[in-house]
Structure 1
């Protein structure tokens, strides 16, 4: 999730990575090598699919996030700043270019959505209230999965990723508004009983995604414009951690992350309606951009979901002009980690 301005957070009651390389061997796939050959100058033009939301008078914003595909191929999207009673989770039929409300409530500020491989429910991060909420696939039966302090400190859960067993890995952006590097990566077991801090001292961690082999986690740090890589051990703990990619974003900052079948990273940019695409070795492959003629009034590309088994990608883009879906052809196929967490 891109970061809300401090004034917006105050004004809303609800808004209160060692790149995996072979030893001396180029392990990239043919598609990644071909893309790298064109250099960072390659531009992928995204095309408008539809406008999903307008600016809410109550909050002065709309902010789409957390695109993720359900088992039937429908796209689920959250609107972070939707007020009470307005759709906070939407289900989108991208072929028909229609959407319908899936869930609303009177308090949640949901910044990401993911389907659990363990129980099939939708899990939402409530940034403002430090909670993880789950829904039945049809949007009914809301439950508080986790709430409370972790190691004595409250959470500001931003994005989340599931491991193959259904345990949750969460970017905790606490300290963001103060500019302090006290953010964390938190692991919560699939039953919601045990929460553990895996890494601390992070600068407003935002995007989080497993690599394509589930060996480690990519974590973007918004206020440092960098992506860290956390190599995991066989117990789900962190074996090592280092800065893997430094993102030259200019005025834009690192938002959410998705990963495709070839291990490429899709780094969303807060402050620019674009995404930077890197291979697992940190080489910039391309930049996904909204056409200049359509970019007026669009400030951020927050996240992306790539069709499972296909290359059609859907990017959430927002600004004063509204909340939009844009599509583009991704360099490789979508997998579970291609649903932006």
Structure 2
């Protein structure tokens, strides 16, 4: 595809993110009302470091997709970063430093995951409907998947891998029209064939395997619900049901991560907080920022240190893009990277 001029690209990125996150649909401060109706304990996350400031070209910054690599680095994407600014960053959590890993003039990357098959970092391009991959330390970009699925283009949001390296994608198709045309799509590692596992969904966003790889949790942004897909060994759907209804007020369900005990960490867009449920749907905790924190509107995603309990949330708003930390309820695993 021909590369659009810089000004057009910036507009495209900003529009794509507004579509993705439903920005402009929230008003007021839902924090106190939602917390008052929420059972479970409150966990206060602490500021770790600022990674980005709002970009002049796009008017915003939005951090997503935190994922730990084999090198111990925490990789984070900035959905709205313009050409020339880091679209993928590597954070050294011991030194509290970050460096650019990748930028380009086209992609609007909304998630990141390392493949268990080839170790490459996979990114979902929401605006252009593609999955691309990078070498583990950055570089060597490749297009893994592009094109229509069952005759319709994708808006891939979050991604997850099974143990064999097959890819599962939350497709937010229909969000811009307010229509329930979203899907969960499986992309076969060997053939590249895309199969629709669930459809007619309301802007699916978060997606993660459970702790035993028996099924997928996925959230629907505009319905504030989490559903569960039970899968067989071949990755086909055995059953599907609504598992959890999230009382978020004006906040909406964003990305999902799962810890070693099977607990779900549900990010929120429109409120800088995260809710934690057990596998049976009981609300265990709410992760909040310190009182009087200003300028941060969304806690989209989380990664928990593999084999440890230190968790890192991506938090964004007019004040910039930050990492906040808290102690998770159980250790981190591959599913604990929020996709």
* TM-score between both structures, scaled by the size of structure 1: 0.89
Deviations 1:266-307 (A, max 9, x none): 00000000000000000000000111222x100000000000
Deviations 1:251-280 (A, max 9, x none): 100000000000000000000000000000
Q: Once the 2 structures are TM-superposed, how far is the Cα of residue 13 of structure 1 from its aligned partner?
A: 2.1
| Aligned-partner SS, 1:12 | helix
Q: Once the 2 structures are TM-superposed, how far is the Cα of residue 10 of structure 1 from its aligned partner?
A: 10
Mapping for residues 1-341 of structure 1, pairs under 5 Å: 12-14=11-13, 15-16=15-16, 40-191=39-190, 193-294=192-293, 296-341=294-339
Which whole-Å CA distance do the structure 2 matches of 1:134 and 1:10 have between them? 21
| Aligned-partner SS, 1:87 | coil
| Aligned-partner SS, 1:292 | coil
Which whole-Å CA distance do the structure 2 matches of 1:75 and 1:319 have between them? 20
Q: Cα–Cα, structure 1 residues 270 and 145, in superposed 2: closer, same or farther, change >3 Å? A: same
Unaligned 5+ segments in structure 2 are: 1-7, 17-37
Contact 2:10 2:82 in 1 (8 A): no
Which whole-Å CA distance do the structure 1 matches of 2:40 and 2:167 have between them? 36
Which whole-Å CA distance do the structure 2 matches of 1:193 and 1:300 have between them? 34
Which whole-Å CA distance do the structure 2 matches of 1:91 and 1:56 have between them? 19
Which whole-Å CA distance do the structure 2 matches of 1:117 and 1:193 have between them? 16
Deviations 1:229-264 (A, max 9, x none): 011123211111110000000110000000000000
> 1:20 — aligned with what?
none
Contact 1:155 1:173 in 2 (8 A): yes
Q: Once the 2 structures are TM-superposed, how far is the Cα of residue 125 of structure 1 from its aligned partner?
A: 0.1
| Aligned-partner SS, 2:292 | helix
| Aligned-partner SS, 2:335 | helix
Which whole-Å CA distance do the structure 2 matches of 1:289 and 1:323 have between them? 16
Contact 1:146 1:192 in 2 (8 A): no
Contact 2:187 2:193 in 1 (8 A): yes
> Structure 1 runs of 4+ off > 6 angstroms?
none
Contact 2:113 2:160 in 1 (8 A): yes
Contact 1:145 1:192 in 2 (8 A): no
Deviations 1:81-112 (A, max 9, x none): 00011100000011111100000000000000
Which whole-Å CA distance do the structure 2 matches of 1:126 and 1:192 have between them? 21
Q: Cα–Cα, structure 1 residues 114 and 200, in superposed 2: closer, same or farther, change >3 Å? A: same
Which whole-Å CA distance do the structure 2 matches of 1:137 and 1:230 have between them? 30
> 2:21 — aligned with what?
none
| Aligned-partner SS, 1:13 | helix
Q: Cα–Cα, structure 1 residues 328 and 270, in superposed 2: closer, same or farther, change >3 Å? A: same
Which whole-Å CA distance do the structure 1 matches of 2:105 and 2:196 have between them? 30
| Aligned-partner SS, 1:337 | helix
In angstroms, what is the RMSD of aligned CA positions? 1.3
Which whole-Å CA distance do the structure 1 matches of 2:287 and 2:94 have between them? 21
Contact 2:9 2:105 in 1 (8 A): no
Q: Once the 2 structures are TM-superposed, how far is the Cα of residue 11 of structure 1 from its aligned partner?
A: 6.7
